[in-house]
């Protein structure tokens, strides 16, 4: 079946027809999906009745898996899923919703802030693929922001300003925004900041994007209050309605997005209801701040 993509967002995001994740992808289908990501940055696949292994197989056909190790407050003994998945559900090992004051849940509330997956890693993620296994009775939408359009809409002075800026990213920065400071010494070491360029260039299209996230807590060479204020202004600019697509989940949906070109956030939902969302992630290959600096040297 021929793959077709219909735009569903204001300036990006496409819904895909003609893909059945229960069977292997052909080389032409792989190429069409990558081309769709380059154009739309977010792809929605509806009615995919697949299991974890089929999601993994689909992901691996597109690139190298990024393992989810040390990115949450779940202890290894409490993992519900293998490390080939990022468990972004609100469920414990017994598939029961976390208690409202469970620190694992409180840490995960940070996902309600605008962010880009793994921007806190030296080599941040390329694609994320999130599948809805169970959804709450209300809420729990995911919103996406087109960071290419946001960059294009900057005034010339701001565009020149951001061009060479480098930010420091850490999950501690995003969690501090929501009042979560309960980190152990081991967690503080694990979540040490990494540097990322504020502007990224897509390796295929050449299009520039703002690379922002709530994980960004400082700008190299800037006083902290000035940096935080500037970052806040940029995120407010990038998340205006004309740049945002809201996805209302149905069981069986798989949504795939390019972290190099988008931000996203989860919306609130009843704490007592299960929201079982399983994410596979494609490893990125840069450009990181270190690579850009080395190239310029």
- Determine contact, residues 133/276, Cβ cutoff 8 Å: yes
pLDDT at 293: 67
Gap between the Cα atoms of 83 and 77, Å rounded: 12
Q: Domain count of the chain?
A: 1
How many CB atoms are located within 10 Å of the residue 294 CB? 9
pLDDT at 170: 98
Gap between the Cα atoms of 250 and 247, Å rounded: 9
Partners of 276 in the beta sheet? 134
- Determine contact, residues 45/21, Cβ cutoff 8 Å: yes
pLDDT at 83: 96
Domain with 28, as residue range(s), is 4-296
Give the SS3 label for residue 238.
helix
Q: Which residues contact 145 (CB under 8 A, 6 or more apart)?
A: 114, 238, 239, 243, 244, 262, 263, 264
- We report the CATH number of the domain holding residue 154 as 3.60.130.10
* Per-residue pLDDT tens over the stretch 104-161: 999 999 999 999 999 999 999 999 999 999 999 999 999 999 999 999 999 999 999 9
- Determine contact, residues 105/90, Cβ cutoff 8 Å: yes
Sheet holding 194-197, edge to edge: 194-197, 166-169, 216-219
191-195, 263-267, 291-295: range with lowest mean pLDDT: 291-295
């Amino acid at each position: 079946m021929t793959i077709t993509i219909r735009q569903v967002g204001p300036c990006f995001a496409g819904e895909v027809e003609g893909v059945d994740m229960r069977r292997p992808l052909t080389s032409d289908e792989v190429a069409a999906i990558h081309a769709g990501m380059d154009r739309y940055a977010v792809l929605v696949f509806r009615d995919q009745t697949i299991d974890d292994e089929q999601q993994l197989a689909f992901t691996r056909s597109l690139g190298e898996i990024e393992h989810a190790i040390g990115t949450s407050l779940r202890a290894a003994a409490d993992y519900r899923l293998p490390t080939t998945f990022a468990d972004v559900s609100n469920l414990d090992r017994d598939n029961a919703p976390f208690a409202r004051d469970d620190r694992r849940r409180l840490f995960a509330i940070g996902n309600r802030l605008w962010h880009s997956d793994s921007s806190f890693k030296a080599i941040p993620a390329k694609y994320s693929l999130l599948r809805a296994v169970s959804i709450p009775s209300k809420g729990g939408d995911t919103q996406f922001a087109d960071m290419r359009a946001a960059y294009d809409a900057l005034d010339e002075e701001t565009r020149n300003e951001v061009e060479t800026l480098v930010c420091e990213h850490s999950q501690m920065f995003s969690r501090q925004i929501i009042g979560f400071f309960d980190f152990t010494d081991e967690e503080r070491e694990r979540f040490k900041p990494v540097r990322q360029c504020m502007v990224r260039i897509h390796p295929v299209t050449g299009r520039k994007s703002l690379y922002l996230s709530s994980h960004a807590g400082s700008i190299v060479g800037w006083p902290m209050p000035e940096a935080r204020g500037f970052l806040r202004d940029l995120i407010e600019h990038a998340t205006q309605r004309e740049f945002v697509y809201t996805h209302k989940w149905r069981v069986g949906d798989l949504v795939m997005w390019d972290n190099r070109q988008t931000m996203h956030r989860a919306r609130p939902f009843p704490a007592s209801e299960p929201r079982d969302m399983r994410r596979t992630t494609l490893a990125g290959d840069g450009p990181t701040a270190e690579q850009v600096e080395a190239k310029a040297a």
